[in-house]
Amino acid sequence: MAIITYREAIRQAMDEEMARDASVFLMGEEVAQYNGAYKVSQGLLEKYGPKRVLDTPITEEGFTGIGIGAAMVGLRPIVEWMTLNFSLMAFDQVISNAAKMRYMSGGQVKMPIVFRGPNGPAEFLAAQHSQALQSIYAHFPGLKVVAPATPHDAKGMLKTAIRDDNPVIFLEAEMLYGTTGEVPEEEYLIPFGQADIKRPGKDVTLVVHGKPLRMVLEAAKTLEGMGIDAEVVDLRSIRPLDEASIYRSVGTTNRCVVVDESWPFASVGSHVAWLVSKNCFDLLDAPVELVSSEEVPMPYNHRLELAVQPSVDKIVAAAKRVLYKV
């Protein structure tokens, strides 16, 4: 396997799918001449030309709507939002049109479109650019929502997303783009709705999705030093959600901590915690713990920024609570 960055894994997936299928194209702010705000689309303009790699104006509602229209007539657009925070400008297009069109047409109109971009907190971006919005999009039937945390998962799941005939919200993270990992050199796809056990264990289940996976794996190492064997369940796919893998893990450990970098109220994390509490009631030896961001807009000050988010220490403390009930 090659060791590549998350950024390169995304680029490879788009490049391979554009080469395989002439109906695939990329559009968004600065994706062409500037090679992408985070250099994810570097080299694609030179290879495929301006008809398939399109710079758009700073009008999320407009170019998102153009992408939806293109998908309705048989093309396969990849719409890049420079950040999911800017996707709020296009929210009506996504929810009223992309999510509903296939249902309202009785399946006659397919919607093969991918909306991708960085989601959640990064660093020094303050309140308006640090929001984790996965629960908003996962709330609406008709949308698939995925949050791969490794280069391997990012490449395989983006290729799956591009080939899907339904709209997919593909959640990346600014702090992941430079991370590295093993990626097969041969083609592969990763189906949606399949969680991955990133670390097996027998004492406590740690459920996570997206960027916090790295933090959770670090917490698992810390717990190992305390004699606690933590199993890490990476959801990868939020909608569809692999409930069975979560329940199997909790059935082994009898304890569960859910980690979500979003706010706790009506979040993906709180929903997963409720599902476990409801469906694993007789298996649990302690109440499910949720580690999330604090209920405040993101501060700009870096120490405060870190203080309001999940951390290794918070995850370890939650794991100790479900084990020792302290």
Q: Has 17 been annotated as catalytic?
A: no
Q: Is 152 a catalytic residue?
A: no
Contacts of 225 (CB under 8 A, 6+ apart): none
Measured distance CA(51)–CA(17) in Å, rounded: 16
Residue 210 dihedral angles phi and psi, to the nearest 5°: 75, -155
CB 100 within 8 A of CB 155: no
Check 8, 17, 29, 60 and give the catalytic one: 60
Q: Tell me which of 61, 129, 139, 224 is the catalytic residue.
A: 129
Amino acid in position 66? I
Please answer whether residues 212 and 262 qualify as being in contact, where contact means their C-beta atoms are separated by less than 8 angstroms.
no
Closest CA to 214 of 153, 150, 126: 150
> Residue 100: in which H helix or E strand, if any?
none
HSE-CB of 238 using CA atoms within 13 angstroms:
29
Q: Which amino acid is at 79?
A: V
Q: What is the distance between the alpha carbons of residues 253 and 230, in angstroms, rounded to a whole number?
A: 8
Instruction: Report the length, in residues, of the chain.
Output: 326
Quote the tokens at residue 35: 């090679």
- CA end-to-end span of the chain, whole Å? 44
- CB under 8 Å to 66, separation ≥6 — which residues? 27, 56
CA-CA distance, 261 to 310, in Å (whole number)? 6
Q: Is the peptide bond before 297 cis (omega within 30 degrees of 0)?
A: no
Could you give the CA distance from residue 230 to residue 203 in angstroms, rounded to a whole number? 6
DSSP type of residue 12: H
Q: Catalogue the active-site residues.
A: 60, 129
